[in-house]
Amino acid sequence: MPPENTDYGLGEVQAQVKRVPNLFLLDTSGSMKMETEDPDGNRRQKIDLLNEGLEWFSEDIGDDFETREGVDVSVITFGGGVSVEQEFRPVKEWVEGEGPPLLSAGGQTPMCEAITRGLTNLNEYKSEVDNNNLGRHRAMVWLLTDGRPDQTSGNDWDAAQQSVEAFTQNDSIFFWGVGIGDDADTDTLRNLVAGCPGPATDVFNLGRGRFNEFFKRASASATGASKGRGEESASEFSEEFSEEYL
């Protein structure tokens, strides 16, 4: 886990640029070592495609100066344990530096803990943005998982579910639950967001190795928000995926 920071790089951003926070909650459990087809029909490990997708996100954002100045990104993984791979930082640090963190797979699937940790971190980041008198758009939270979480009931589940509901009901986030492949438990993801307002959440299955397409689409959504084109609803974003795979 990298060292924690408390300023989120906000002291170096342009004051007139509204922040566009993107929080990635990514499954890195042992099942992500399993192979699936990439867009070219080649068999590759899902964790490798996930890493490649983050690179696509960074490269697409980097192609637009205004967007890379406004988007902040955090990466939290859950595989064996929960790891804050990156606190919220300006995505231009990926573009101008060494790129996204390189993820590896192993262990079980503590998804609920990752959700709670991620949204707690998001709240702290939002407070720091406000303290710096910076504007911000609604956060985009992307949960990607290829299996069934360790907990689907009990205290951890209740805490995660209540956190997602609270953040969506006060218009703080858009939340996507994205199942990776045929073994993903999208029913559990739907239960997770059952109490959330419809326009703020959506669940869909990302099949056939469409990682790159997903991350390019996510970067386009962040770009649109940063340019003031409006914030598309969760269902508008995922329509092209959900129509084919659900």
Q: What is the pLDDT of residues 141-186, one digit of tens each?
A: 999 999 788 888 899 999 999 999 999 999 999 999 999 887 789 9
pLDDT confidence of residue 11: 78
Predicted confidence (pLDDT) at residue 241 exceeds the cutoff of 80: no
pLDDT at 9: 87
Would you state the pLDDT for residue 243?
46
> d(Cα 183, Cα 147) in Å, to the nearest integer?
6
**38 confidence band (pLDDT: 50, 70, 90):** confident
81-90 and 71-79 as β-strands: parallel, antiparallel, unpaired? antiparallel
Q: What is the mean pLDDT of residues 72-85?
A: 97
The CA-CA-CA angle for residues 211, 45, 82, to 5°, reads 80
Global pTM reads 0.92
pLDDT band at 240 (very low <50, low <70, confident <90, very high): low
When pLDDT is averaged across residues 106-117 and rounded to a whole number, the result is: 97
Count CB-CB contacts under 10 A for residue 60. 20
Per residue in 186-236, pLDDT (tens digit) is 999 999 999 999 889 999 988 776 888 899 889 989 998 888 776 666 667
Alpha helices in the chain (DSSP H): 46-62, 65-70, 92-96, 111-131, 154-169, 186-192, 211-226, 234-245
**Mean per-residue pLDDT over the chain, rounded:** 88
Residue 3, pLDDT score: 40
| pLDDT score, position 2 | 42
| Res. 25: pLDDT tops 90 | yes
Q: Exposure pattern of 199-223 as b/e (b: 16+ CB <10 Å)?
A: ebbbbbbbbbbbbbbbbbbbbbbbb
Q: Quick one: pLDDT band at residue 70, thresholds 50, 70, 90?
A: very high
